[in-house]
Structure 1
Amino acid sequence: MYISCLHVEIYFNSIGNFCNSIIKGGFSFPRTPVGWFAYSNVFCDKKTTGLPKASARCLNDTGSPMFGPLHILQCEITLSDIQGNISSSSGDLLQLAFSTQILTYQKHQLSADNITTAAQIANTLLQSAKITEDIAVAAITTISQLLNASEESTQERDAVQSLTETLEIFSLDQHNNVSLVVQPNLAVQSVQVPSDSVGIQFTALTGSSGNFVAKRIHLNINTSELIADKGGSTDVQIVIKFPPVLRSKNTNYSIGFVLYQNDQFFRSKAFRASSGTSRRVISANLGQVSGLHVEMLFKPTAVPNTSLHDFACVSWNYTLKDWSTFGCSKVNHSEDGLRCFCNHTTNFAVLMSFRRDFKYAEALNWITILGCSMSIIGLSLTITFQMVTRKSRKTNPTVLLVSVCVCLLIFTLLFMLGVDNLHKQLDKPEILEDNVLPPSDTHTEQDRGPCTAVAVLLQYFLLGTFTWNTLFATHIFLMIRNSLATSPSHFTAYTMAIGWGLPAVVVALTLGISYRVDDPLGYRQEEFCWLAALDPKGNFDFKLPMFWGFLIPVAFMLMFNTVMLVYFAVTTCKTNPHLTSTRHTSMKKKFLSSFSLAVVLGLSWILGYLLLIPQNQTMYTILNISFCVLTTTQGLQIFILFTARTAIFKKKMSSALKSVSSAGIPLHTRKFSLWRGEHSDKVESYTQQGTDLSFPPWSTQTSS
C-alpha cells in the first residue's frame, strides 16, 4: 500500500510539471515541461522558412499546467526584416520577439550571420524600455536556442559577448517582476535580498535530460554555506557570503544569476575543447560591491574512458575576451563536486582536463613468441648462408634476399623486445593544488622517448621489408621479361637507394606531419609502441598515420607483388622446359616455386587487410589466427624454402653430421675420412646434375 501511494504521488507530481499534448487554434502541440515553449507540427512552406507556424508556452499560473496564448509566425519574415523593424521602432515588439524565437528554433538552419542577427535582436529587446514579461521570456528563449548553434565568426563572437553582458544587467534589474525564467539551455533568476541576510545560495539540480527546468532551480536567501552534495545530485551551486559592512547598511540588495547550459557564448583561445566537451557557466551579479566571498560547486563532467587530470576555477575577463584565474582558487575536489572560491562576481566556470584511461595490450601470446623466435633463428641462418655462399650463386638475387631478411629480422627483434610500452600510465593522476589554466580539455603526457623511438624503427623496418619485397618482385620481372641471366646494370645501386631510402622518406613525412613532443599520441599509440590508428572512442581513424603512413603504401606494394606472382606463375607454367620429368614432379616444383615467391613477397599480410573488413566472429577468429601464424613464422618459411632446401646447404649439413659422427672413433679416423671423401665427391657430382630448388626456377629460365 505504501509503494502504491508513493507511485501515485510521483505520477501526479510528474503530471503537474507538464502540459499534456493538445490541439489549440488548429495547431497540435506536444507534451511540454512547465515554462518551456512548444512548437506546432504545422510548418511554413519550405520555399519560405520551413519552420513551425506557431508556438505556445506551458504555464502553471493557476496550479494546473496549460498552454498559454498562441504566437503565429508570418512565414515570409526574416531575421533581417525583424532587426530592421526593431531599429526603426516600427511593428509590434511582442510579435517581433516571438517571431525571432520561432526563427531560431532549428539549430541546423542557423548560419553565423543568423546567429549574429538574432543575438543583436535579443540584445535590443532586453534593453528596451518597453519590455514586458512576455517579451523578456521570448528573448531569453531565443538566447537559449542560440546556445545550441555551432557556427562561429568574429562578428558573431562580439554579438554574443555583448549579449552576456546584457543578461547580467537584466538579471540584476528585475524588469516587470520577472523573477525566474527557465528554458532548456538558460536560466535567469532575479531576487531581492534582505539586509540582514548572511548570504544567498543558488542551486541547479541534475536532471535526467541535462536540460534546465524550473522545479530543479532552488534559491536560499539566508545562508552562507554550500550544501554537502552526496551522490552528485547538484549540477551547479553558488553561494555569495555578504561582508559585515554590506549587512550594516540596512538596505535590500538586488542580485541576479544567469546559468548557461554550455560555454557556447564564451569561446576561448587559451583553452581548447578538443574532445567536444562543454562547460556550465554561471553568472552572479551584485553590482559594484567589493569584499565578497563567493564559493561554487560544479559537478565534474563525465567523459567516457577518461579520468579527471586537473581543473581550474576561472572567470570570464571581458577585456581579454577569455578565461582568467585572477581572483579565484581551488578549495577541494571529490567525485561529487569541484569546489572553487572567488573574491568577485561575474561569469564563472570550471575548466576540466581529462586523461584517457588506457587499456594496455596483454603480453605476447605463445603463438607469437614461438613464431617470432623461430623466425629470428631462421632469418639469422638465411642471412649467414646467403653471405657465405654468394659466390656460388651468381644469378641469384643475394642482395635483395639478404636485405629482406635483415629488415624482417630487425623488425621481429624490435617487436618482441620493445613493442610493450615500459612507461605505462597506470596511476591515477594527482590534481594540482595550483589554480592553473589548462591548455586543453584533453591531457597528454609529454613524450619520454623510448616508445616513440621503437614505433619509428618498427615503421621503418617493416616498410623496408615490403619495399625490398617489391624490389625482389621487380628483379624477377625484369629477368623473365628480358631473358637476362644477371641483373641489369646499375640495378643494385638503384635498389639500395630505393630499398633503404623510400621507407626513410615515408617515416620522416609521418613524423613531420603527426608527431609533437607534447602530443606523441598523434603519431603512436599509448597502449603499445606502434602507429596511432584509433580515435578516443575506439573507432578506426583514417586521419591517423596507421592508415596513410603504413596501410596505404603497403597496400600498393602488396598489389604490385600479387600481380608479379601471377605473372611469374603463368610464365613458369608456359615456358619452363626443365620441369618435365613427370607431371607430378613438374606440378610440385611449379607450386613450390610460386609458393616460395609468395612467401618472400610477404603476401600473407593481405590477411591483415581482410581483418579490417567487418565479419562474423568465427571468420574473424580464423583469419586472425592464420594471419598471426603466417606472419610470425615468415622468417622460418624463408629459411626452409631458400636455405634448408638448397643442395649446398644439404651438402654442408651432411658433411657436418658425418664429421660429428666420426669424431668419436679416433682409431679409424684416417681410414674412414679417405672413404668419406670419395663418397662426398660422388654426392656432389650427383647433386650438380639435378635442379637446384633453393630458389624458384627463374634462374633456370633466364639462362636457357
Structure 2
Amino acid sequence: MSEVIRIEVVGRDIVNLKNPLKIRFPVNNYKNDSNKSYKYSCQYYDEQGNNTWKTDGCNTTQINDTVVECSCDHMTPFAVLLVDVKNMDVQQWEILSYISYIGCSLSAVFSASSILSFIFNRNARAEVSSSIHVSLSGALFLLNISFMFSEWGATLTVKEVCVFIAVTMHYSLLCSFTWMAIEALHLYLLLARVFNIYIKYYMFKLSLIGWGIPAVLVGSLLSVQQLSRPFYGAIGVTLSNSNATNAVCWITEPLILYGVNLSYFTIIFVFNTIVLITVSRQIFKLKKVDNKHKKIPVKDASTVLGLMCLMGTSWGLVFLCSGYTSYPILYIFCISNTMQGFSIFLWMCQTARSEKQKAAHTKSASTVDTFTIEKQKEPK
C-alpha cells in the first residue's frame, strides 16, 4: 500500500531506539468491503532472518485516509502493508477475558481441591485411575495459573519474567494434552484387558510420558532459542476496531505455535476420539445386553460426557476457528476448557461416591450371608 523506504546507518545496526523512528507514509485510500476486513500494518523487511515482512518493534497509527504513521525502534526497510484482520473486537475481547479469568480461577481452585483430596485419601492413592486424574488436574492447575499471569507478565520491563510465564504455559499445555491421551490409553487398556491391568512400574512409566515428553519438547525449543531467535515472549493482539494492542506472554513464532502445538494436539485428538467412540459403543451395547439391570439413559449420557471431559474433546473446537474469528465458537471454547478442572473434580467426587456405595453394598451383602450361614448352623 506504499513505497518501501529504507533507513540505515552504513556499517551499523541501529536497534532498540529509546526514541522511536517515526515515518509518515502516503497510502492508497482503501475501504473495507462487506465480506472481509483489512487494516494497514507498518512492517519491516527482515533481511537478516528469513526474508519476510514482520511487525516486531513497529506500531501503526492511521493519521487519515491517505496517511499512515509508522513508529519503529530500529532502522531497516519499511513499508505499509494491507493485512487481513483476524483479531478481536474490543468489547468481545473484554467479555472473553472475564470469562477466561473467572473460569480459570474456578478451575484452578477445584484442581487444587482434587490434588488435596487425593493426598489425604488413602483409597484414592491406591487407584491408578485416580492418580491419572490428579496428574491431569495438576497440569491444568499449572496451565490456569500461568494463563492468568500472561497479560500481567507482558507489561513488565523485565522480559525474562514474560519468557518464564510463556514457557510455563506452553509446558503445562503440552502436559495437559499428554495426560488426556494417557486417560484415553488407560481407559482402552481397562476395556481391552477387562479391568486386569498389571504392568510393572505402570504409573511411573505413565508419569515419565506425561511430564517427560513435554519437557523434552519445550527444552529443545529453549535450547534453540538461546542459539538463534526467541520463541517465547510478549506478543501483541491488535483489536480490530481500535489502535489498542493487548500484549500477552506466549509463543512469538507462528511456525512453532502451529507446527508443534497443533500437530501434537491433532495426533492426541484423533487417538482420543477413536477411544471415546469405542468405549461409548461398548457402554450402550452393554445396556442392550443387560436386561436385569437396565441403566437410565441419562446416566449413560453423563458417563460419556465425563469421559469427553477427561479426554479433552472440547479442545477440538480449535479446528473450527482456524484462520478466522468465530465468536460463538470462541465463547464455547473458553467456557468448556476453562472449566475442565471443575469437571474433573466432579468426576472424581462421583467416582469416590460410587466406590463408597459399592463397598457399603458389599459389606452389607457379606453381613447378610454371614447371618444366613450362622442361622443354618443353629440346631433345630
Normalised-by-shorter TM-score class: 0.5 to 0.7
- Do the aligned partners of residues 612 and 273 (structure 1) sit closer, same or farther apart at CA in structure 2, a change above 3 Å counting? closer
Q: Which residue does 1:638 correspond to in 2?
A: 344
- Do the aligned partners of residues 601 and 309 (structure 1) sit closer, same or farther apart at CA in structure 2, a change above 3 Å counting? same
Q: Distance in 1 between matches of 2:180 and 2:48?
A: 49
Q: Percent same amino acid at aligned positions?
A: 22
**Residues 334-358 of structure 1, C-alpha deviations (whole Å, 9 max, x = no match):** xxxxxxxxxxxxxxxxx5679xxx9
Native 8 Å contact 2:124 2:130 kept in 1: no
Native 8 Å contact 2:151 2:249 kept in 1: yes
Q: Which residue does 1:546 correspond to in 2?
A: 257
Native 8 Å contact 1:516 1:522 kept in 2: no
CA-CA distance at 1:482 after TM superposition: 1.6
Q: Give the aligned residue type for 1:525.
A: I
CA-CA distance at 1:525 after TM superposition: 2.6
Q: Which residue does 1:504 correspond to in 2?
A: 215
Q: Which residue does 2:335 correspond to in 1?
A: 629
Native 8 Å contact 1:451 1:529 kept in 2: yes
1:455 lines up with 2:219 in the alignment = no
Q: Which residue does 2:277 correspond to in 1?
A: 566
Q: Which residue does 2:105 correspond to in 1?
A: 373
Q: Which residue does 2:373 correspond to in 1?
A: none
Q: Distance in 1 between matches of 2:119 and 2:350?
A: 15
Q: Give the aligned residue type for 2:328.
A: I
Native 8 Å contact 1:599 1:634 kept in 2: yes
Q: Which residue does 2:53 correspond to in 1?
A: 275
Q: Distance in 2 between matches of 1:417 and 1:574?
A: 46
Native 8 Å contact 1:507 1:549 kept in 2: no
**Residues 462-515 of structure 1, C-alpha deviations (whole Å, 9 max, x = no match):** 1101111111211111121122334433322221111111101111233344x2
Q: Distance in 1 between matches of 2:352 and 2:289?
A: 17
Q: Give the aligned residue type for 2:301.
A: F
Q: Distance in 1 between matches of 2:281 and 2:147?
A: 36
- Do the aligned partners of residues 582 and 483 (structure 1) sit closer, same or farther apart at CA in structure 2, a change above 3 Å counting? closer
Q: How does 1:606-685 map to 2 (within 5 A)?
A: 606-612=316-322, 614=324, 620-644=326-350, 646-647=352-353, 685=360
Greater RCO (Cα-Cα under 8 Å, separation 6 or more):
2
Q: Distance in 1 between matches of 2:54 and 2:306?
A: 51
Scaled by the length of structure 2, what TM-score is found? 0.65
Native 8 Å contact 1:308 1:352 kept in 2: no
CA RMSD of aligned residues (A): 4.3
Q: Distance in 1 between matches of 2:114 and 2:338?
A: 16
CA-CA distance at 1:451 after TM superposition: 0.9
1:529 lines up with 2:236 in the alignment = no
Match of 1:646, SS? helix
Native 8 Å contact 2:125 2:131 kept in 1: no
Q: Which residue does 1:481 correspond to in 2?
A: 192
1:308 lines up with 2:72 in the alignment = yes
Q: Which residue does 1:598 correspond to in 2?
A: 308
Q: Give the aligned residue type for 2:251.
A: L
Unaligned runs of 5+ in 1: 1-207, 212-230, 234-267, 278-301, 312-350, 426-446, 534-540, 652-682, 691-704
Q: Distance in 2 between matches of 1:529 and 1:459?
A: 10
Q: Give the aligned residue type for 1:529.
A: C
CA-CA distance at 1:385 after TM superposition: 2.0
CA-CA distance at 1:522 after TM superposition: 6.9
Q: Which residue does 1:333 correspond to in 2?
A: none
**Residues 193-213 of structure 1, C-alpha deviations (whole Å, 9 max, x = no match):** xxxxxxxxxxxxxxx9969xx
Native 8 Å contact 1:404 1:465 kept in 2: yes
1:388 lines up with 2:120 in the alignment = yes
Q: Distance in 1 between matches of 2:210 and 2:308?
A: 19
Native 8 Å contact 1:404 1:468 kept in 2: yes
CA-CA distance at 1:458 after TM superposition: 0.7
**Residues 632-667 of structure 1, C-alpha deviations (whole Å, 9 max, x = no match):** 11111111122156327999xxxxxxxxxxxxxxxx
CA-CA distance at 1:404 after TM superposition: 0.5
Native 8 Å contact 2:170 2:218 kept in 1: yes
Q: Counting helix residues as a fraction of each chain, which structure ranks higher? A: 2
Q: Distance in 2 between matches of 1:599 and 1:270?
A: 46
Matched residue count: 299
Match of 2:329, SS? helix
Q: How does 1:341-380 map to 2 (within 5 A)?
A: 365-380=97-112
Match of 1:530, SS? strand
**Residues 270-308 of structure 1, C-alpha deviations (whole Å, 9 max, x = no match):** 89975389xxxxxxxxxxxxxxxxxxxxxxxx9978413
Match of 1:589, SS? helix
